[in-house]
Amino acid sequence: RAAAQTGSRGAVLPPALPPDAGLFGGFEARWVRTRGADIFLRHGGDGPPLLLLHGNPLTHASWHQIAGPLAKRFHVVAADLRGYGDSIGPTDAGTNHVNYSFRVMAQDQVEVMTALGHDRFFLAGHDRGARTAHRMTLDHPERVRKVALLDIVPTRYVWAHTSREWALGAWHWAF
C-alpha cells in the first residue's frame, strides 16, 4: 500500500490509485475520505446503485468476475472495508477495537455512498462484508433498498440459538 502524500500547501493527499491488473475494465478507481478512514473503491455501470462488500481476508477484487455483468444493470460500487486491501483505517483500533467494529465500517460505507451521490442503494455483502451490511441495514434502514447477505447467519440469531452441540462444532465462535 502506498503511503499518503503531502501536497504543496501541506494538505495530506490520499495515496496514488493502485492498478487493477485489468480486473475492472470500464470502472473508475477512487478514494473517499470518511470521518475515520480513507476508503478505496472501484465503481462503474448504469442503473441503480449497488454496493458490494467483500469478506475476510479478501478485498473489493473478490467481486471482479461478477462486477462487469452487474454493471449492465446497476451502478456497481466495489469498496474495500477499512483496514482491508487498499483502504486505510486508523492505526489505533480503539477500546475494544471499536474503530474496526461493524458499526463503524458500515458508517464508512454510508459515507462512501453519500460522496458518490447515492442516498439509497442496493447492498450485497459476503462474510465480514455481510456482517457490515447487516449492521448497516439496522443502523441506516432508510438508505438500503434491499440487502443480500452471503455466507452468514446474523449474529443475533446465532447467539440466540446456541446449543452445546453447536458450540462444540463451531468452536472458533465460542472463544
Q: Is 70 exceeded by the pLDDT of residue 4? A: no
| Number of other CB atoms surrounding residue 4 within 10 Å | 13
Q: Are strands 75-79 and 49-53 parallel, antiparallel or unpaired?
A: parallel
Q: HSE-up of 126 (CA within 13 Å, CB side)?
A: 14
Alpha-carbon gap, residue 107 to 87, rounded angstroms = 14
Inform me whether the pLDDT recorded for 11 exceeds 50.
Answer: yes
The answer on pLDDT for 1 being more than 50 is no
Residue 95: pLDDT over 50 = yes
What does the alpha-carbon distance between residue 66 and residue 69 come to, in Å, rounded to a whole number? 6
76, pLDDT greater than 50: yes
pLDDT of residue 7 exceeding 90, the answer is no
Contacts of 138 (CB under 8 A, 6+ apart): none
Average pLDDT over residues 55-72: 97
What mean pLDDT do residues 19-31 have? 93
Q: Cis check for the bond before 14: say yes or no (omega within 30 of 0).
A: no
Looking at residue 33, the DSSP 8-state letter turns out to be E
Statement: residue 159 has pLDDT above 90: no
Per mean pLDDT, which range of 39-48, 81-90, 154-163 is the poorest?
A: 154-163
* pLDDT tens-digit readout, 118-143: 999 999 999 999 999 999 999 999 99
Report pLDDT for 14. Answer: 66
Other CB atoms within 10 Å distance of the CB of residue 101: 16
* pLDDT tens track for 34-56: 999 999 999 999 999 999 999 99
Q: In this predicted model, which residue has the larger pLDDT, 75 or 4?
A: 75
Could you tell me which residue, 12 or 134, shows the higher pLDDT?
134
pLDDT score of 21 more than 90:
no
To the nearest whole number, what is the mean pLDDT of the chain? 91
